[in-house]
Structure 1
Amino acid sequence: MALSPVADSFRARLLRGDILAGSFLKTPTLHGSEILGGLGFDFLVVDEEHSPFDRQSTDAALFAARATGAAGLVRVQSPSPHHLLSVLDCGAAGVLVPHVATAALAEQVAAACRYRGGKRGYSGSVRAAGYGGGKMWDYIAAADAGVTVVAQIEDPEALDEIDAIAATDGIDALFIGRGDLTAAMGAPTNDAPAIRDAVDRIAAAARRAGKPVMVFVGGMKEAEWLRGIGATAFVYSSDQGLMKQAASKALADIRNLGAAQLA
């Protein structure tokens, strides 16, 4: 089924400031999407940048997300138009684009993801278009209204152009990449004073542009801090992180059971 600009689409909910819960998918199977989407996560982010997803496994993960009603986004390998087109044709609800460090790149990304006013390549036979049979311009209108484009801000130089990046037409939201900012700035932690200052600058630019803020969090303490600066969409851990967390607790519980029996 093609995208529809309904009031409860992921993009509409993000733009109106709903609190949205998501997670990264790091394992290239459809099961993570099926499990997390089935639990009720609002969105899932297939991580092509830092995980071994190829086009086929991305396609499967997006299919499973759609089946559960969760919005499937993709953190693409690169901002190149062919990477963006590939995941959008597979039915991604949106893209998370790493290392958007300039307004010029933000404009290129936005153009590659939109038909009207942009340069997105058209095919009516893909999943996103309902595998053919529909009307071309109905699909184009729905796609332009439904696709979410998120710029990941994770380079120190991006801070010099942050207002221009945030104001770019077609960029729907900013994602604050604290991990790369921490590494690039040589900060001791991802909540060090220099990182907090960068986070505040990005959030302030988003507010001035009327754009929502997305963030990654590993726990509720971080989520509460970042909610305070205006974040509304939270990528909580990942399929691997959640599995490791639950497995660690299960293992400790069994080990404690054995220790209790010996006592």
Structure 2
Amino acid sequence: MAKSDRSEGFRSRLLGGDRLIGAFIKTPTSHATEILGLVGFDFVVIDAEHAPFDRLTTDQVLLACRAFDIAGVVRVSEATPAQILSALDCGAEAVLVPHVDSAAKAAAVVSAGRYRQGARGFSNSPRAGAYGGRTMADHIQRSDADVALIAMIEDMAAIDVLDEIMAVDGIDGIFIGRGDLAVAMRAASPNTDEVSAAVEKITAAARRAGKPIMVMVGAAADATRFAAQGATAFIVSSDQGLMRQAAAKVLKDFAEL
């Protein structure tokens, strides 16, 4: 499906099946996010699970997202209400929650991330509430309408209860964590037949439930393969990975002089 105008919200685009291209942000500064916004990426995922982000640096990168017209997603380190609330108050358009391996955990994510559908702690004083510029009713309505909650499926326990997880109302989409899944399966890599079979089970369950699918890919060829299984949102490397690729290419080019 063709890309739509980036002025449309991330959740709307995700639910609408737009092709979305993003990258992980591993370095706690704004610059990589500014560059990715300038070149036209749709979103970044601030990696508070595996990179050195705290609330301040997360806040700074989300400010860069707003300044450079790119959606800011935060991968929290754990599925606690405090972690989810912190990301949302800072203005994240979506939260990516790791290790959602049961319907109960999925429901807890919804509870932490929604007002009317859950028990999200209220404040309209941070960036998310326009620093008090939104009324209580407006902030609640906009937040519930615009924030995307995405469950990471990356554990063996989740494979046995996929339909139950997908059926949780308020989970907007799923991300397939192939790396953790491969480790859990004691597989040599995410590309083995056994991991691929598990991924196909996940994508099939997501299609049955009508949930958007997000996946990390190494190249366009991978994206084509997963798109055939229903994926529409693709994380392509990270700021560090892209810099490493570019640096290695420069050295190779000069070595051939």
**Quick check: 1:7–1:13 contact (8 Å CA) kept in 2?**
no
1: CA distance, partners of 2:165 / 2:134: 35
Task: Answer with 142-151 or 191-200: which moved more.
Answer: 191-200
Structure 1 residue 222 displacement after superposition = 1.4
Give the match for residue 49 of structure 1. Answer: 49
Q: Which amino acid aligns with 2:57?
A: S
CA distance in 1, matches of 2:251, 2:217: 24
Over residues 161-199 of structure 1, what are the superposed CA-to-partner deviations in whole Å (9 max), with x where a residue is unaligned?
111111111100010000001011011221211111111
2:85–2:120 contact (8 Å) kept in structure 1: yes
Q: CA RMSD in A?
A: 1.2
In the alignment, is residue 28 of structure 1 matched against residue 25 of structure 2?
no
Q: Percent identity?
A: 55
Aligned to 1:17: 17
Structure 1 counterpart of 2:225, one-letter code: W
Task: Name the counterpart of 1:73.
Answer: 73
Q: How many Å apart are 1:7 and its aligned residue? A: 8.6
How far the C-alpha of 1:117 sits from its partner, in A, is 1.9
Distance 2:40 2:94 in 1: 18
Map residues 100-249 of structure 1 onto 2, 5 A cutoff: 100-249=100-249
- Partner residue in 1 for 2:3: none
Given the alignment of the two structures, is residue 256 of structure 1 paired with residue 236 of structure 2, yes or no? no
Amino acid corresponding to residue 82 of structure 2 in structure 1:
H
1:136, distance to aligned residue in structure 2 (A): 0.9
Matched residues in 2 for 1:174 and 1:132: separation?
32
Name the SS of the counterpart of 2:131 in structure 1: coil
CA distance in 2, matches of 1:133, 1:93: 18
Inter-partner Cα distance in structure 1 for 2:94 and 2:205: 22
Secondary structure of 1:22 counterpart: strand
Q: Distance in 1 between matches of 2:115 and 2:90?
A: 16
User: Unpaired runs of 5+ in structure 1?
Assistant: 1-5, 258-263
User: Could you list the per-position Cα deviations for residues 78-109 of structure 1 after superposition, in whole angstroms to 9, with x for gaps in the alignment?
Assistant: 10000000010000001000000111000000
SS in 1 for 2:231: coil
> What is the alpha-carbon distance in structure 2 between the residues aligned to residue 7 and residue 144 of structure 1?
18
Q: Which aligned segments of 4 or more residues in structure 1 are displaced greater than 2 angstroms?
A: none
Structure 2 unmatched ranges of 5 or more: 1-5
- Structure 2 distance, partners of 1:226, 1:124, is 39
User: CA separation in 2, counterparts of 1:66 and 1:134?
Assistant: 17
Asked if 2 retains the 8 angstrom alpha-carbon contact of 1:151 and 1:173, the reply is yes
TM normalised by structure 2 equals: 0.96
Distance of 1:256 and 1:111 partners within structure 2: 57
SS in 1 for 2:211: coil
One-letter amino acid matched to 1:227: A
